[in-house]
Amino acid sequence: MNDSLKHLDRHSTPAKALTEPAPDDRQLRLILKTAMSAPDHGRLHPYRFISIRGQARHKLSEVFGRAIMQREPDVDPAYLKKQKDKPLRSPLIVVVVAHLIESPKIPEIEQMLSAGAAAQNILLASNALGFGSIWLTGDNAYDPYVCGELGLAENERIIGFIYLGTPALEIPPRPIPEVSTHLSHWE
């Protein structure tokens, strides 16, 4: 048995270090198909994805700017610029959205976890295809204005913004703790 798993070298690539090319449409469909293999109690498929590339990143930049101005009218101009630059740091952003379905058997937390597992699968699949990625949230992920501009319904929540592209620099592997420090045995 091989004790080495390819996905163990997956690590976040800083968004500012992600460049073209990003996954093309065919590769993105493969990545999202992999995302949709996430555990899903009741087969509700409680997630959806919004792909943002090209000029749409500039629209998202403006949305982020307006959201920040609403939250902090006296925002420091340098901070505002930094926040507006976020969507421009990588060539592709996938917004992972939890689409919560009222169900007597499947609580919202399980649906949120399923959407989170879909997000993790995006990271793993993009890594397997040779792309870099990072999953980010921040205030904009929870901002009602941002959610409205992205077309989210009342029953939807942003799980994260996943930035995708080709790593522009070599990222050293991150240290992974010994399993024994996180494993206990219940008998």
Give per-residue burial for 143-169: e unless 16+ CB within 10 Å, then b: bebbbebbebeeebbbbbbbbbbbbee
Answer whether residue 173 is part of any domain: no
Q: Note down the domain range covering 45.
A: 12-167
Answer whether residue 40 is part of any domain: yes
pTM: 0.92
Q: What pLDDT is recorded for position 15?
A: 85
Residue % of the chain over a pLDDT of 90: 85
170 versus 131: the higher-pLDDT residue is: 131
Average pLDDT over the chain reads 93
Answer whether residue 93 is part of any domain: yes
Number of domains, the chain:
1
Answer whether residue 133 is part of any domain: yes
CATH number of the domain that 132 lies in? 3.40.109.10
Answer whether residue 174 is part of any domain: no
**Which H helix or E strand runs over 135?**
strand 132-136
Answer whether residue 183 is part of any domain: no
Sole residue written with tokens 């990271």 = 123
Q: What pLDDT is recorded for position 2?
A: 52
Average pLDDT over residues 123-141: 95
How confident is residue 1, by pLDDT bands cut at 50, 70 and 90?
very low
Answer whether residue 131 is part of any domain: yes
pLDDT digits (tens, 9 = 90+) for 69-121: 999 999 999 999 999 999 999 999 999 999 999 999 999 999 999 999 999 99
Answer whether residue 149 is part of any domain: yes
How confident is residue 176, by pLDDT bands cut at 50, 70 and 90?
confident
